[in-house]
Amino acid sequence: MEDIFDTPFDSIKNPYESFYHGLVNSKIWLCSELEHAIHIKQMHNPALHILACWHNLLAFMLITRRPGFYGVIHGYDIDPEAIDVANKITNTWQHDYPKVYNQVLDINNTDFSSQGTESIFINCSVDQLDSTKWFETISNGRMVCLQATDVQDSTEPWLVKQTTKDINELKERFQLSEVLYEGVREVNYHTLKYNRFMLIGIK
């Protein structure tokens, strides 16, 4: 069987970066609060759309926490190398239920308005995107889950294109008809400290 990271290391900037402490902890936080929001809205087997999914470690975590809780998971990223890794990480669910489909896609040039009422849109990389076109095409009444940080570094590895100073600015940029959860988590490594914001609600 093909090794999960069989791609030569020199062709990937850092194949394990998505497993770093701050990124994994932010996804654990997301999984917990999203599960609660789904319970509140009494959604059954929702379809998840993970935008700018990178290696789609989030899909792996969501399914292993709650097998059978989701109907299907779609991951989208503009980077073909990231999708190649995502397909390896989520390989189990290319065969088992629920299915995970990872796709190379420019989310800012995609219309998501045709997705059904049981769809949930997740974007943990809103500060790495230079546009909110992807959000504008999501139909009203759909659940969304967003994360951003207050980091203002446009260089590697942050590549911030839209800065977010606090949770209120995030709420202003992505206006929701109903907020189900909003929160802030401080990440402190002593030499580096920043805040991560999360917003879950109904557009």
Structure confidence at residue 24 (pLDDT): 84
Identify the pLDDT of residue 7. Answer: 43
Domains of the chain: 9-202 (3.40.50.150)
Given a cut of 70, the residues of the chain with pLDDT beneath it are: 1-15, 153-161
The reported pTM is 0.89
**What is the reported pLDDT for 69?**
96
The SS3 of residue 110 is coil
Assign residue 50 a region (left: φ > 0; alpha: ψ between -120 and 50; beta: otherwise).
beta
The per-residue pLDDT for 113 is 95
Nearest Cα to Cα of residue 148 among 195, 201, 79: 195
Q: In the prediction, which pLDDT does 195 show? A: 92
Per-residue confidence (pLDDT) for residue 4, from 0 to 100: 39
Q: What is the pLDDT of residue 13?
A: 58
Query: Using an 8 Å Cβ cutoff, are 169 and 178 in contact?
Result: no
Whole-angstrom Cα distance, residue 46 to residue 30?
Answer: 16
- For CA atoms 171, 173, 178, 184, the dihedral sign is negative
